[in-house]
Structure 1
Amino acid sequence: MKIVLAQPRGFCAGVIRAVETVELALEQFGAPVYVRHEIVHNQHVVQDLRDKGALFVEELDEIPRSAVTIFSAHGVGKDVEDQARHQGLQVLDATCPLVSKVHNQGRQYAARGYQVILIGEPDHPEVIGTLGQIPAPVVVIRTEAQVAALTFAQDTSLAYITQTTLSVDDTHSLVEMLKRRYPKIIGPDTRDICYAVQNRQTAVRELCRKVDVVLVIGSPKSANSVTLRDIAEEAGTPSYLIADGGSVRRGWFDDKSSIGITAGASTPEAMVEDVLDTLKRIFPLEIENLPGREEHVHFRLPDGLIARQ
């Protein structure tokens, strides 16, 4: 069986920063450290950090006063930041800098008097955090039907921002529809969608041109992993979203001669190796790497941490 590995795949700079934040906090302050929400959407990453002494909670009320507390890569609202200060928590903010950029964009638009429209999944932690960072009403949309249902007058000052982990194509189509309905609307270029998301989406499209079936390794909670699976399906290539090698099913590969493998931005490379080990037990493998964009982005650690030497 021919295996083609997408490039790039797996961990992005924001996830590396978030995971390293928890690991360094455990090294420098000792266990336990508390993490609000899953640090990233991957059960293997979360369990590994839990085994090292991290305690994951959904609400700050679950955290003892003055404890070391980490905000996840998805970001939080101002109310969460205020509550953390009130409880005297020692906060390390692992919010991805690209998510923080969206927060800043939204606040700036609101301060200039624009009605802000946020393109994103309303229940996603990143969107919830972004809504909590903008001190003004924000309308969340995700579909063309929701764009069509907007009732703003043509002279309304409108601006849009986007969740970082959406499909570039989907976002572009919604932005273009907004511009047709409201020609004066302003907003960032769709290239402001996370660079890592764009790179992985480009790679999976190329992968689909070379293989019979695609495996996307990631969590169903991970928006960017789900999007990779959807892109492959839309390209006409059977695609499966799996957590690890234990999710692989032999019947997926009947009459297939090649498998493409990619991984979401919160998926460790160890899970790619786990899937390859499973496939090796099914049939001999011929593995090749798909040429693709190399990533050299590095984000500074949150204040309060000392980087490893």
Structure 2
Amino acid sequence: MLERIYLANPRGFCAGVKYAISYVEQVQSHSKEQIYVRKEIVHNRRVVEDMKKRGIKFINELGEAPDGATVIFSAHGVSPEVVEEAKKRSMKIGDATCPLVTRVHRKARRYKDSHQIIYIGHQGHDEAIGTMGEADMFLVESPEDVQKLIGKIDTNKPITYLMQTTLSVADTKLVVEKIAELFPSVEHPAKDDICYATTERQEAVSSMMEEIDAMLVIGADNSSNSLRLLQLAQKSKPFSFKVNSLEDLSKEYLEEKNIRTIGITAGASTPQILVDEIIHKLREFYPSVSVDLFPGSREDSMSFKLPANLLL
């Protein structure tokens, strides 16, 4: 029977997600026109559905909105090609890209003409698509992918690498080590691109492993950072699992695995209300369960200021 719940901290919304959501809300509050958002503003169904209820329309491609419409790009960023298409169609552009993702785009543009760029990221992820649109890059997801670059990269020319911001810190370290091994001349960035929120949430999960039987990760299936949290937890606690919402929560699973102490964390795009609903459901299952913040936890203190001009 479940006896104790430990809450990881930080968990849930990161500064970049708060920035993107606030961006859309501010644009809508200052405009009487229909607001379109290209792709999910963040990778969480609850956030998207709440915005739809407030009249925001989500589209996959710009062609789904009329010429001259107000279109906001999601937190994951877009390629220059998408920006140019919007400009050609006289769209009013809002860019809710996380500032940390924007930083990676700037680095890509800086290296574009001088370096061969290796991009460490996940094939098909919105952030990877946007960043790789800035320059020609070699995508790798694992050390094995790096091995396949032999013969494709000219070792006589400058080489560097960039990263998707939501990767596993430990797994990325292995990829970087392989790059350095096979391409000793590689220029290492002064600072890696994995965002502070991803790192801190992974560190919070790691610190809890000895005190829990399993970790419950709350997050969407297409949320890269949520999946990394689950993979990290399962390395130490294989019964760890992920849910999208309280409907996915199974009392039978908890009892089958004899989980007495559980940790709860949430992906960087998961709203606090989902965490609250999960805790409420667990208390319904087990009225005597205790809920505490994990000892030694720290707050997420970073924030990003919205630009003075929201639309281009």
Aligned residue number for residue 84 of structure 2: 82
Structural mapping, 1:1-309, within 5 Å: 1-30=3-32, 32-111=34-113, 113-134=114-135, 137-150=136-149, 151=151, 152-189=153-190, 191-254=192-255, 255-284=258-287, 285-290=289-294, 291-305=296-310
SS at structure 2 position matched to 1:154: coil
Q: Check whether the contact 2:164–2:193 (CA below 8 A) recurs between aligned residues.
A: no
1:7-26 deviations in Å (ceiling 9; x for gaps): 00000000001011111222
| TM-score after normalising by structure 2 | 0.94
Quote how far apart the aligned CAs of 1:274 are. 0.6
Q: Check whether the contact 2:119–2:162 (CA below 8 A) recurs between aligned residues.
A: yes
| CA shift in 2, pair 1:146/1:190, >3 Å | farther
Quote how far apart the aligned CAs of 1:252 are. 2.2
Structure 1: which 5+ runs fail to align?
A: none
Quote how far apart the aligned CAs of 1:31 are. 5.4
1:161 maps to a residue whose letter is L
Quote how far apart the aligned CAs of 1:40 are. 0.3
SS at structure 2 position matched to 1:297: coil
1:156-200 deviations in Å (ceiling 9; x for gaps): 321100000000111111001100111110132564310000000
Pairwise CA RMSD: 1.4
1:211-261 deviations in Å (ceiling 9; x for gaps): 111110000100000000000011234211111111101122222211110
Q: Check whether the contact 1:215–1:239 (CA below 8 A) recurs between aligned residues.
A: yes
Q: Check whether the contact 1:199–1:293 (CA below 8 A) recurs between aligned residues.
A: no
Q: Check whether the contact 1:79–1:132 (CA below 8 A) recurs between aligned residues.
A: yes
SS at structure 2 position matched to 1:209: helix
Q: Check whether the contact 1:120–1:163 (CA below 8 A) recurs between aligned residues.
A: yes
CA distance in 2, matches of 1:235, 1:194: 23
Quote how far apart the aligned CAs of 1:302 are. 3.8
Quote how far apart the aligned CAs of 1:132 are. 1.1
CA distance in 2, matches of 1:266, 1:31: 27
CA distance in 2, matches of 1:129, 1:225: 20
CA distance in 1, matches of 2:269, 2:60: 19
Q: How many residues align?
A: 303
SS at structure 1 position matched to 2:112: helix
SS at structure 1 position matched to 2:285: coil
Percentage of identical aligned residues: 38
